[in-house]
Amino acid sequence: MSYGMYLSASAVMVHSHRMDVFSNNMANVNTPGFKPQMAGVQQRLPEQVENGHNPQLSQRMLEQLGGGVYAASHQTMFDTSTLISSDRSLDVAMTQDNAFFAVENVNSTSGETEVMLTRNGRFDIKQGELVTSTGHRVLDDRDKPIKIPEGYTPYFNTLGEIEFRNNSDEVLDGPRLQVARADTDKLEHRGKNLLAMIGGDSRQAIDIPDLKPGHYEASGTDPIKTMMQIVAATKAATGNANMIRYHDQMMNQSINTFGRVA
């Protein structure tokens, strides 16, 4: 098979993957606290270098073209996004870049509970407990679900401390939201706006967090920039697919021409 066909095929796969990543970013353009990903592309070394073949077996002219490309690791952009004011007492936003709420997630495979992180501070009340907008139970600074007394509404302050108030202006002291930092290089998207900690629990409690009650963090996706990324990745994938077709036509013509001459 044509060496150029291999190079173009690798590019089609890589740019198709980039389209998937950017499309996921676009799909979450309205998801509170969502952090977009950048899909990396890495140059692949020539086969002789990559596999350590004997230099005498190498094709120097072909190897000057390189070995194509492959998908590099993703990079998540954790910068704080725009904070949007709301009239909900259950909304609270982070103002720090490396800060997350801890939530409880049930592993769909093992059925075990695990702690995950999120920037989504649009909370709700479900069955007397504080949950995220995706239904995950929010944890306090002791890794316990936050229970809401019946007839009371939770209010947050800038430190994440909770007060419960009812219609009679009675106030009860509540627990404190767990706000933690983590090794962002080891956080991985797991769907439903959750981040999993790869390689072990890397949480470190933030003693003095800086929260903004009555606000929520917008998605970090820039719709115009993301649309341009999707278009560029689509053009790159299409262009390399056309190159595969051209190589195939060239091989077909060469074989048929040489066959007739012979």
Residue 202 lies in a domain: yes
In this structure, are 147 and 167 located in the same domain? Answer: yes
In this structure, what DSSP letter does residue 131 have?
Answer: E
Q: Are 237 and 20 in contact (CB under 8 A)?
A: no
Residue 35 lies in a domain: no
Q: What is the pLDDT of residue 52?
A: 56
In this structure, are 211 and 228 located in the same domain? Answer: no
Each residue's pLDDT tens digit, 54-92? 555 556 655 666 667 778 878 899 999 999 999 899 999
Residue 176 lies in a domain: yes
Residue 78 lies in a domain: no
Amino acid at the residue 122:
R
In this structure, are 95 and 206 located in the same domain? Answer: yes
pLDDT band at 177 (very low <50, low <70, confident <90, very high): very high
In this structure, are 207 and 125 located in the same domain? Answer: yes
In this structure, are 213 and 225 located in the same domain? Answer: no
Q: Whole-structure pTM over 0.85, yes or no?
A: no
In this structure, are 144 and 170 located in the same domain? Answer: yes
> Which stretch of DSSP H or E encloses residue 176?
strand 171-176
In this structure, are 92 and 204 located in the same domain? Answer: yes
φ/ψ of residue 143, rounded to 5: 65, 30
pLDDT at residue 163 is higher than 80: yes
In this structure, are 127 and 207 located in the same domain? Answer: yes
Domain count, the chain: 2
- How many separate helices (H) and strands (E) can be counted in the chain? 4, 20
Residues 6+ apart with CB under 8 A from 13: 70, 71
Q: What is the pLDDT of residue 247?
A: 81
Give residue 205's domain range.
83-217
